[in-house]
Every structure is written in C-alpha cells, then in structure tokens.
Structure 1
Amino acid sequence: MARFMTLLTAAVFTVGLSACDTDGPAENAGESMDNAATDTGNAIEDACENVKEGAGADDTDC
C-alpha cells in the first residue's frame, strides 16, 4: 500500500508540473506588455541621451 501511495504522489506531482509548462493567453499578453514597456523606456532613454548630446551636456546619461 505504501508503494502505491508513493507512485500516486509522484504521478500527481508529475502531472501538476507538466501543466505549468504551457503558457496561456494571459501569460503571453503579460509578456507582450512587459516587452512593450521595456521598449518604450529604452526609446525614451535614447531620446534623452540624444538631446543631451546635441546640447553639449557633459553628462549624457539619463
């Protein structure tokens, strides 16, 4: 009986972990939003650095 319970427990964990492997539509949408926010932040930082460079600022970091 103990061996059966061990095998059953292992099977439950295996099925549970395999279900976590697939990304659903919400996960994909969240990843797309994260990428868009990162791209926007990078574009703003690049524009700021270009303005500072054009103005001849000593510190061009934004």
Structure 2
Amino acid sequence: MKKTFALGIAAGLISLSACNTSPTEQAADNIESNTEAVADNLEEAADNATTEAGEDALENQADAVRATGQNQAEDMRTNDPDTNLSNGL
C-alpha cells in the first residue's frame, strides 16, 4: 500500500512539473518529438531496404534528421537569435 501511494505521489508531482513548462519549452519538445518520429520512420525504412547502400543512405538521413531536430530544439530553448529568425523569437 505504501509503495502504491508513493508511486501515485511521484506520478502526480511529475505531471505537475510538466504543466509548468513554458510555451517555448513545449515547442522545443514538439520539435524533438516530431523529428524523432521522422528519424524512426527512416530507420524502419532502412531495415526494409533491399541494398546495403540504400540502408546506409536511409540511416544517414535518420541521423541527420535527429541531429537537426536536436539543434533546433536547443536553439529554441536558448533563444539563439542567429537560428530563431524564422520563428520570431
């Protein structure tokens, strides 16, 4: 019973902390989530590729998409003016 109660309290605190994120942080999280999903799809396609070269190309694309998403999200979080000109920050 005590473990269940403690887990419930922990889950509640985590959900409350998620509510306090800024719109900028939420946008950065969305960027990361979306690019991660695209990269995962590319990796799935790589697994189904018929040639080694095709598989390598798709895996490289997945890595590039993932890196771009992480960079964009970090720029969003830090409000780097050099990279955030298109989103108005």
Which structure would you say has the larger Rg? Answer: 1
The structure with higher relative contact order (CA 8 Å, sep 6+) is 2
